[in-house]
Amino acid sequence: MLRKLWLRKMMWRGDEPMTTEREKAFGRRLKAARKACGLTQSFVAQKLGVTRQAVGQWETAESSPNPETLRKLADLYNVSADYLLGRETNSVILATRRMPLHPLGARYLTEEELAEIEERTMAFHEFEVRRRLKEKGVEI
């Protein structure tokens, strides 16, 4: 509630609110998990009883879901809430398989680098699924 009031005050003054790197990383993980499941923002919003804009704001770190919604997101994406919150940092998680991969030196990488690797992995997965569905004549 206080964050919302602070954001309104900042917007009224015309200042840009500062988003922390942790909030940005949370949004990136939410987006990557959603995409790994092949879900749209609209579908997620409908399942959670919120607007598509709310889901978009969570993914861009403009706002955050409440704890109950976070639990529902983790269940929907089949990941842990700790994963979404960035507490699982000792290994790289391949979200599509839900299996921890060998760390491969992950402890030496920054959160940003891990997020980039995860985003690229998810993008490749999505590309490959779409390509194979197209080969089978399935409309997406």
7: in domain: no
122: in domain: yes
Distance of CA 108 to the CA centre of its chain: 22
pLDDT tens, residue by residue, 9-55: 444 444 455 568 888 888 988 998 888 888 899 999 999 999 999 99
Domain span holding position 100: 20-135
Q: How far apart are CA 42 and CA 137, in angstroms?
A: 25
In single-letter form, the type of residue at position 17 comes to: P
12: in domain: no
Residue 117 is predicted with a pLDDT of 83
Q: Is 27 exposed, middle or buried (0-12, 13-18, 19+ CB in 10 A)?
A: buried
115: in domain: yes
pTM value > 0.75: no
5: in domain: no
- In this predicted structure, the answer to whether residue 138 has a pLDDT above a threshold of 50 is yes
3: in domain: no
36: in domain: yes
124: in domain: yes
Number of domains in the chain: 1
Beta-strand ranges (E) seen in 38-108 are 93-94, 99-100
Residue 104 is predicted with a pLDDT of 56
Q: How far apart are CA 19 and CA 107, in angstroms?
A: 24
- Read off the CATH number of the domain in which 53 is found: 1.10.260.40
Q: How far apart are CA 99 and CA 96, in angstroms?
A: 8
For the chain, the first-to-last Cα distance in angstroms comes to: 40
Residue 68 is predicted with a pLDDT of 95
CB of 32 closer than 8 Å to CB of 95: yes
**Higher-confidence position of 36 and 6:** 36
Q: How far apart are CA 74 and CA 85, in angstroms?
A: 10
Mean pLDDT of the chain: 77
pLDDT tens, residue by residue, 67-126: 999 999 988 888 888 888 888 654 344 444 444 444 556 677 788 887 888 888 888 888
φ, ψ dihedrals at 40, nearest 5°? -95, 160
In single-letter form, the type of residue at position 35 comes to: K
